[in-house]
Structure formats: structure tokens, C-alpha cells
């Protein structure tokens, strides 16, 4: 508990910390800006008497803990963090539906410290995990952000959260410059230098009359996140390496170099040493990147996080994509959950979110409260659309028309089917369809129709 006290002293505001592990000697004891209690009744009384800026509470078996959360949520100025050793869907989902802002598993106080710091910076995209390696990554993140200024390489499969880690490092660093992202995969050779380094006015035919600032310059005194660095062609690696080492860039059409000082974070889903051996990645580039590293384990190696993340994604869907859903309580189909725990998750967290969203849509369409999580292997991806029967599609249309669901919450494979059914139902009356889907005008709808048709033909 001494570590907790030290952590909370950093917070500039009034804090209530309720936990059954608080010693009886410290019950309802104030330590500087913090009040500690192991009594739920004591926590209720304190929140009635005093305005708390932050409440951290343990999720216990006592039903009244959810009443406390709901009462605190009425005061919009109080931020609520829940902690628990429990990882079951029902507890976590109910806590979020009751009004908590963030759930953090108990056990690792260093992980809690970093998560709290990020949360108080209004950066809520924290990877919530009980996995020791993932939690230790946040300890590394704090060290890399506060103690050293070297570049950082983030390794992990697609969908594991490399971008989240990169942005978290930026938030913890306190740098004055911006956080700028550049995806290195698929930059055309002809556009590489202008995208990275920018160009002067009149540098080439069709150039913007005001010139263009490249991502290196945009990230000056901040962080440049070079995502998918392992996909960069050899010819572009040489140009990039030169700019990284010299911290000077030459805009297209210019003869005068510009000095820049961003911090670089790289990310890749590839084994770069294998790429070097296969002559697809420069050896000198590899050793430039090799140093401070963070390796994110795939979801299949962290099964203890599955129910926590399902609860978080289900709540996020209801908050962001459904209407008047705060009181919606749902249950998981245990048989399907058991099958899901055996799944390999090639798309990791991103795939899990899609699976949860897809199931949430079907659940709402069926006016049910049972969440049935089904997955498709990559080779079965096209069968996702077939899983949405005509009956389900019409039920989804009804949800959209009656303002129970937002179009943005529909998973991508379903959007084309929904759009086609709407256009048939309303004789392609785009003004009417735009109103139903909450597009700002018919042109925005036309752009979405074009995007869906283009994707369908790829």
C-alpha cells in the first residue's frame, strides 16, 4: 500500500482509494491528498461529504459497489478507476456499464502507475492486460520515455497494439512537438521523398503553390512513428537511413538542408534479422533500429485477457455505436466463448474487436441479451457476409431507422449489404438514406457508396 500512496501523491486533486486490502489502521485515513478506506460504507459516506476528483475502487462481490459507481457517475467531474483480481466478463462489463472510466487488473503496481499516468493525460487507449510481459512493457515504456532519448523499436504481429504503445510513449515523454505517423508500407518510389521530406513551391508540375511539409519536419521536436518499417523497399531504406542518422533533410526542389530533431519510433510485424539474411532489409538499417525494444505478445499467448477485452469492446460498441444503451446488460454464450479461447487470432486484438462488434450487431438485431461470439478463419473471411442472413440485415435496417444503432458501428462486411438493402427499399432516394445513416449530405453518402463498391471489386 505504500507504493500506492507514493503513486497517488503525484495526482493534483482529491483522491478516494477504496480497497479491502487497506489495513484497518489506515481505514478512512487521509494521507495528503488521498483518503484510504477498506469500508464500502465509508466510501459512500466520504463521496457524499466531499467532492472527489478521482475515485479508485476495488470490484468486490458486494452488489453495493456498483451502486457506488453509479452514484459517482452522476457527478461528471469525478473520474473512476476500478481494480480487481477478477477477469470474468460479467464483472468487467457491468463495471463499465455502471460508469467506470477504466479497469486496471490488480497485482502489478508499476503497471498501475503507468496506466494511471496515461489515463490522467486523457489517453485512455491503454492495453488492459493481466499478462506479465505486457505489463512489463509499460514499465519499459515509462523508462524509455523519461530516462533515455534513444529511438525505440516496437515488435509485434498485426493488431497487437503497436500504434497504441507508440502514442503512449509520446504521451509519457512530454515532448513539445507533435506525434506524427507514417506508414512505410507501399509508399510509391516517386512520392517517397516528398512524403518524408516535403517539397518546395514549384518543385514539380502539379506541386502545391505553397510547397509541402514532410513528416520529418512535422515531427520536429516531437515523435515520428514509422510504422511497418520492415515493409520499406531497399531503395527507400537508404534514403531514410541517411536522414535518420544525419537528422537533416533536403526538400524536393531545394538546395538547402533543414536540421530537424524528432525522436523516432519504429514498428514492424516482421523478423528483421530474417529480412537481413534474405537481403530484403539493409544490415546497417537493422543495427540502427536495434536497441531499445518493446515486444508485444500476440493475443493467443494471453488467454487470460480474453474476457476482459470482450467486456471492454462490448461496452465500447454500446457507448459509441448504439443509442440509449447504458442499461443494456448482456451475457456471454459459454459454449462459443470456450471455442473462442482455442482460436489462434491471426488478427489479434483488432480481429477480436471485429468479432465482438459483429456479435453485438446480431444480438441487437435479434433483440436479445446473449452475446454469441463466432469467428471465421482468414480463408473463410468471405463467409462473414453469408453469416448475415437477409432477416438479420432487415433487422439492422430497423435499428438504424429507429435510432438504436449508428452506421459507424456496423462491421465492414455488412455495410455493403446494408447499403444495398437501403437503396432498394427507398428507390435510391439518397436524401432519405443520408438522413437515416446520419450523413451530413448526399455527397458524403455518394462517397461512401463509391468506397463500398470499389472495395467490393478489389
Sorted by sequence, the CB contacts under 8 Å of residue 115 that are 6+ apart come out as: 102, 104, 126, 138
pLDDT band at 205 (very low <50, low <70, confident <90, very high): confident
CB distance 90 to 315 below 8 Å: no
Write down the pLDDT at residue 29.
Answer: 57
Evaluate if residue 385 carries a pLDDT over 50. Answer: no
Write down the pLDDT at residue 291.
Answer: 86
Residues 286 and 313 in one domain: no
- The span from the CA of 255 to the CA of 2, in Å, is 59
For the ranges 26-35, 203-212, 392-401, 421-430, the lowest mean pLDDT is seen at 26-35
Residues 106 and 184 in one domain: no
CB distance 14 to 32 below 8 Å: no
The whole-number average pLDDT for the span 6-30 is 80
Residues 249 and 328 in one domain: no
Write down the pLDDT at residue 416.
Answer: 86
pLDDT 10s digits, 278-327: 999 999 999 999 889 999 999 999 999 999 999 999 999 998 887 665 55
Number of folded domains that form the chain:
3
The whole-number average pLDDT for the span 36-54 is 92
The whole-number average pLDDT for the span 22-50 is 82
CB distance 354 to 411 below 8 Å: yes
CB distance 434 to 441 below 8 Å: yes
Give the burial class of 226: count Cβ atoms within 10 A of its Cβ; 0-12 exposed, 13-18 middle, 19 or more buried: buried
Write down the pLDDT at residue 26.
Answer: 58
The residues pairing with 84 across neighbouring beta strands, listed in sequence order, are 105
- The span from the CA of 117 to the CA of 172, in Å, is 8
Evaluate if residue 411 carries a pLDDT over 80. Answer: no
Evaluate if residue 107 carries a pLDDT over 70. Answer: yes
User: Mean pLDDT of all residues in the chain?
Assistant: 89
The whole-number average pLDDT for the span 351-360 is 91
Write down the pLDDT at residue 384.
Answer: 45
- The span from the CA of 352 to the CA of 354, in Å, is 5
Among 270, 296, 322, give the residue marking a domain's end.
296
Residues 311 and 292 in one domain: no
Residues 69 and 86 in one domain: yes
pLDDT band at 382 (very low <50, low <70, confident <90, very high): very low
CATH of the domain at 37: 3.40.50.2300
- The span from the CA of 432 to the CA of 22, in Å, is 58
Residues 10 and 61 in one domain: yes
Nearest one of 244, 253, 257, 256 to 199, comparing CA atoms: 253
Q: What angle do CA 37, 40, 45 make, to 5 degrees?
A: 80
Write down the pLDDT at residue 397.
Answer: 86
With a pLDDT cut of 70, the percent of the chain lying above it is 93
pLDDT 10s digits, 138-197: 999 999 999 999 999 999 999 999 999 999 999 999 999 999 999 998 888 888 999 999
Q: Does residue 139 fall inside a structural domain?
A: no
The whole-number average pLDDT for the span 218-247 is 95
Q: Does residue 173 fall inside a structural domain?
A: yes
Among 231, 263, 296, give the residue marking a domain's end.
296
Q: Are strands 29-31 and 34-37 parallel, antiparallel or unpaired?
A: antiparallel
C-beta atoms surrounding 39 within 10 Å: 15
Evaluate if residue 126 carries a pLDDT over 80. Answer: yes
Return the sign of the alpha-carbon dihedral for residues 27, 31, 35, 38.
Answer: negative
Residues 290 and 314 in one domain: no
CB distance 38 to 22 below 8 Å: yes
CATH of the domain at 229: 3.40.50.300
Q: Does residue 37 fall inside a structural domain?
A: yes
Evaluate if residue 30 carries a pLDDT over 70. Answer: no
pLDDT 10s digits, 438-454: 898 888 898 888 888 87
Residues 194 and 79 in one domain: no
Among 296, 329, 350, give the residue marking a domain's end.
296
Q: In which domain, by residue range, is 104 found?
A: 2-126
Write down the pLDDT at residue 28.
Answer: 55
pLDDT band at 265 (very low <50, low <70, confident <90, very high): very high
The residues pairing with 80 across neighbouring beta strands, listed in sequence order, are 55
For the ranges 223-232, 342-351, 395-404, 420-429, the lowest mean pLDDT is seen at 395-404
Evaluate if residue 217 carries a pLDDT over 50. Answer: yes
Amino acid at each position: 500500500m505504500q507504493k500506492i500512496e507514493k503513486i497517488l501523491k503525484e495526482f493534483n486533486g482529491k483522491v478516494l482509494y477504496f480497497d479491502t486490502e487497506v489495513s484497518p489502521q489506515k481505514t478512512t485515513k487521509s494521507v495528503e491528498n488521498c483518503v484510504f478506506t477498506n469500508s464500502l460504507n465509508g466510501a459512500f459516506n466520504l463521496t457524499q461529504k466531499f467532492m472527489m476528483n478521482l475515485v479508485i475502487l476495488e470490484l468486490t462481490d458486494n452488489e453495493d459497489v456498483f451502486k457506488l459507481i453509479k452514484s459517482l457517475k452522476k457527478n461528471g467531474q469525478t473520474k473512476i478507476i476500478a481494480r480487481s483480481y477478477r477477469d470474468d466478463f460479467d464483472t468487467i462489463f457491468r463495471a463499465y456499464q455502471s460508469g467506470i472510466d477504466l479497469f486496471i487488473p490488480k497485482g502489478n503496481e508499476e503497471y498501475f502507475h503507468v496506466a494511471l499516468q496515461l489515463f490522467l493525460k486523457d489517453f485512455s487507449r491503454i492495453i488492459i492486460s493481466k499478462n506479465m510481459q505486457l505489463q512489463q512493457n509499460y514499465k519499459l515504456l515509462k523508462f524509455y520515455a523519461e530516462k533515455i532519448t534513444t529511438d525505440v523499436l516496437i515488435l509485434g504481429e498485426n493488431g497487437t497494439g503497436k500504434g497504441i504503445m507508440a502514442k503512449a510513449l509520446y504521451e509519457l515523454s512530454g515532448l513539445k512537438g507533435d506525434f506524427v505517423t507514417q506508414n512505410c508500407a507501399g509508399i510509391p518510389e516517386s512520392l517517397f521523398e516528398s512524403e518524408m521530406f516535403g517539397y518546395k513551391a514549384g518543385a514539380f508540375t502539379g506541386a502545391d503553390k505553397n510547397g509541402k511539409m514532410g513528416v520529418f519536419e512535422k515531427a520536429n521536436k516531437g515523435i515520428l512513428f514509422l510504422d511497418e518499417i520492415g515493409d520499406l523497399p531497399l531503395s527507400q531504406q537508404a534514403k531514410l537511413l541517411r536522414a535518420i542518422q544525419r537528422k537533416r533533410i533536403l526538400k524536393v526542389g531545394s538546395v538547402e538542408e533543414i536540421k530537424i530533431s524528432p525522436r523516432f519510433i519504429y514498428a514492424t510485424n516482421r523478423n528483421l534479422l530474417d529480412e537481413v539474411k534474405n537481403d530484403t532489409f539493409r544490415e546497417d538499417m537493422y543495427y540502427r533500429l536495434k536497441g531499445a525494444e518493446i515486444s508485444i505478445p500476440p493475443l493467443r499467448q494471453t488467454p487470460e485477457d480474453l474476457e476482459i477485452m470482450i467486456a471492454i469492446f462490448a461496452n465500447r460498441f454500446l457507448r459509441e455505436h448504439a443509442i440509449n444503451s447504458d442499461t443494456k446488460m448482456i451475457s456471454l454464450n459459454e459454449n462459443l466463448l470456450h471455442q473462442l479461447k482455442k482460436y489462434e487470432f491471426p488478427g489479434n486484438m483488432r480481429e477480436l474487436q471485429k468479432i465482438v462488434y459483429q456479435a453485438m450487431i446480431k444480438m441487437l438485431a435479434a433483440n436479445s441479451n446473449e452475446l454469441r461470439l463466432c469467428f471465421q478463419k482468414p480463408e473463410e473471411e468471405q463467409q462473414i457476409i453469408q453469416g448475415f442472413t437477409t432477416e438479420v440485415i432487415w433487422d439492422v435496417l430497423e435499428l438504424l431507422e429507429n435510432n438504436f444503432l449508428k452506421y459507424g458501428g456496423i462491421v465492414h462486411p455488412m455495410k455493403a449489404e446494408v447499403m444495398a438493402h437501403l437503396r432498394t427499399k427507398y428507390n435510391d432516394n439518397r436524401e432519405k438514406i443520408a438522413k437515416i445513416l446520419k450523413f451530413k449530405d448526399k455527397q458524403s453518402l455518394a462517397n461512401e457508396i463509391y468506397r463500398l463498391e470499389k472495395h467490393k471489386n478489389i
